[in-house]
Structure 1
Amino acid sequence: MTTESTPTKKNYKDTLNLPQTAFPMEAKLVANEPARLKQWQGERLYEKILTSRADAPKWILHDGPPFANGDIHAGHLLNKVLKDIFMRFKTMAGFQTPYVPGWDCHGLPIEHKIMEKLGSKAREMSVVEIRKQCYDYAHNYVQIQSEQFQRLGILGEWNNPYLTMKPEYEAEILQVFARYVEAGLVYKQLKPVHWSIENRTALADAELEYRDVTDNSVFVEFTSANPGAFKSKFDVRENAPVNFLIWTTTPWTLPANMAIAVHPDVEYALVKYERNGDAHVSVVAKDLVERLFSNRGAHTMLKTVVGNQLVGEEYRHPFIDRTGKVVHAEYVTTTDGTGLVHTAPGHGEDDYHTGINNGIEVYCPVLGN
């Protein structure tokens, strides 16, 4: 076969009017992203955007600072990218949008990292030396996170961030605090806090991690401190000790018990029953009588009273030589327990406020270590 008889293969691409682009078919992001960022920095893109909106109304995002305690993660990515989208949208909507990034350089996350690193050596170091370690650690991760955020394409004053460990920032905080003191808004008082025994420091709510556990609970009888007066007041003629029955899932707080809380409007029953051949009378919520005493054999409901009638009654602590009193609290329920709540003002937020409202001592026998 000769070449003259071979048909020419047509190139249909040459018959089409296709647009031409200089856009590369491969992104090559590893090389191009840093180059693009360098271009933005060289052209001072962020500053030019602000200048172009110099006379426009300001729209300012007060950015909550991340902790300077490690590399950024998916949470940082979502947070910063969404904020950057809002900033750019507001810029295009005609606002000037200055963005000053910042870092939280204090707190337990940073301290915990340093204590892990130092181990037993921390016990031999002064507070100042440990703080210096925390400062250096935070400063290092401020630089690392700043570079990582900029690699995400976030525009802002990265050369002028606010850092909570800067002396000028701390000075401003002290000045504001001083104004609170002058206005009489600052006072010293005991208050229960979440505490880390390992780090010997208070924990913020955001620093807590909860997990469900199956634990033991206890029922405890608190004997009336004035049984004669109690029986006379409520016309109880039984020759038996009178107890206030509580239920708690935190038996380790019992040494700090200072009160028993009842709901002022709940109906309570005085129930007679036998234990080891001896008669006893216990005060519990009426709605819970059968649940509590059905497995204790014969029992009799002697009388019912409203919670408000029990307020002021005194009882003896079961293993410490002191008395407490019955108080009212709206949070008491009859869903679980006995309808009477063991109250330790030094061990819980609700208990604390109940104690303060009733002039009860805030007592916590647990040491910081």
Structure 2
Amino acid sequence: MTDTAATPATPATPAPVDYRATLNLPDTPFPMRGDLPKREPAWVKDWNSTDTADNAANSASDSAATLYRRLRAARKGAPLFVLHDGPPYANGKLHIGHALNKVLKDMIVKSKQLQGFDAQYIPGWDCHGLPIENAIEKLHGRKLSRADMQAKSRAYASEQVAQQREDFKRLGVLGDWERPYRTMDFANEAGQIRAFKRVVERGFVYRGLKPVYWCFDCGSSLAEFEIEYADKKSETLDVAFEADDSAALVAAFGLSALPEGKTGFAVIWTTTAWTIPANQALNAHPELSYALVETPKGCLVLAESLVEACLQRFG
């Protein structure tokens, strides 16, 4: 009988271990990539579309239940928080200033909603004024009649409102975008006239003098913030006003009388000499120290800190 060596048994290959099943990790529906340029428009569309599941039982008139309207319904009867938003001009595409303004305000409105308020936001647009008129003049020139200017401005503003509204929605701002207020809406214009009528009836309107800044190039008035001032060195004038009550003047400085033959004067400095004939009185600052200085011209009331500079300037 022939001996043969025993062949060792081949070890079994271990089954692969699925370590994924051994990890307790959260599951998330969020995709691996943000892909915001594609996803954000879909979110905005969803916010402004009908939620058929929630509105199946509603009437046809309530079918357009946007997210904003559902928020209003959820807070019906709660304390009101209404953001009074200074409207942007309807005169061009949005810039970073618009974005910063609207996004910050939207954060405030949404935070108030989360605090339990009925936080309403009614967007609006300023459809009047020089910016829109300037845009029309650039497009059509400056020879337009008043009626033509108004018609073209209204049409232009309507286009800009539609464009800006879509961009504001794209920023994620929630509001009653289908019912905004526009200063050019006839109801708003009529309301302004009615309000002005009440102001006139209560005596708050009067005729007076007021400077109106005017642009010769634009042919229109300017707001004060539109004015740019150039540096200019003006002629100056020092004027001595004789004291109306010499006794009161010397008493204020603890004296019994002015030097013999001397008259008391209060000295002012001005660059607008033409206003002097209308002067009625001079003001003394309660927190400044004044000096009464004897000079060959008389006794002058000067600010104590300016005595040396004034006397040198007077010669």
Corresponding residue to 1:215 among 228, 232, 235: 232
Indicate the residue corresponding to 1:40 in structure 2: 47
- State whether residues 270 and 282 of structure 1, in contact with CA within 8 Å, keep that contact through their aligned partners in structure 2: yes
Q: Deviations over 1:23-75 (max 9, x none)?
A: 21122222222222211211222112212223333322222212222222333
Determine whether 1:80 maps to 2:116: no
Equivalent in the alignment of 1:317: none
Give the 5 Å matches for 1:1-369: 12-13=19-20, 15-43=22-50, 44-115=66-137, 117=138, 121-122=141-142, 124-205=143-224, 207-208=225-226, 214-220=231-237, 247-248=269-270, 254=273, 258-260=277-279, 262-264=282-284, 285=302, 287=304, 288-294=306-312, 297=315
CA distance in 1, matches of 2:295, 2:219: 47
How many angstroms apart in 2 are the aligned matches of 1:47 and 1:139? 24
The count of aligned residue pairs is: 273
Whose Rg is larger? 2
Partner residue of 2:62?
Answer: none
Identity among equivalent positions (%) equals 39
How far does residue 188 in structure 1 lie from its aligned partner after superposition?
A: 1.6
Native 8 Å contact 1:101 1:162 kept in 2 = yes
Cα distance 1:282–1:245, how it changes in 2: closer, same or farther (>3 A)? farther
Letter in 1 for 2:99: L
TM-score normalised by structure 2 residue count: 0.69
Q: For structure 1, which runs of at least 5 residues remain unmatched after alignment?
A: 274-279, 298-369
How well do the aligned residues superpose, as a CA RMSD in angstroms? 4.0
Q: Please state how far the C-alpha of 1:15 moved relative to its aligned partner.
A: 4.4
Residues 192 and 9 from structure 1, CA distance in 2 versus in 1: closer, same or farther, beyond 3 angstroms?
A: same
d(CA) in 2 for partners of 1:29 and 1:130?
A: 42
**Between 287-296 and 257-266, the greater mean CA deviation after superposition:** 257-266
**Higher-strand-fraction structure:** 1
For the structure 1 residues 218 and 24, does the alpha-carbon distance in structure 2 shift closer, same or farther, using more than 3 Å as the test? Answer: same
How big is the shift at 1:169?
0.2
SS of corresponding position for 1:71: coil
Structure showing greater relative contact order (alpha-carbon pairs closer than 8 Å, 6 or more residues apart): 1
TM-score (norm 1): 0.60
**1:69 touches 1:110 (CA, 8 Å); kept in 2?**
yes
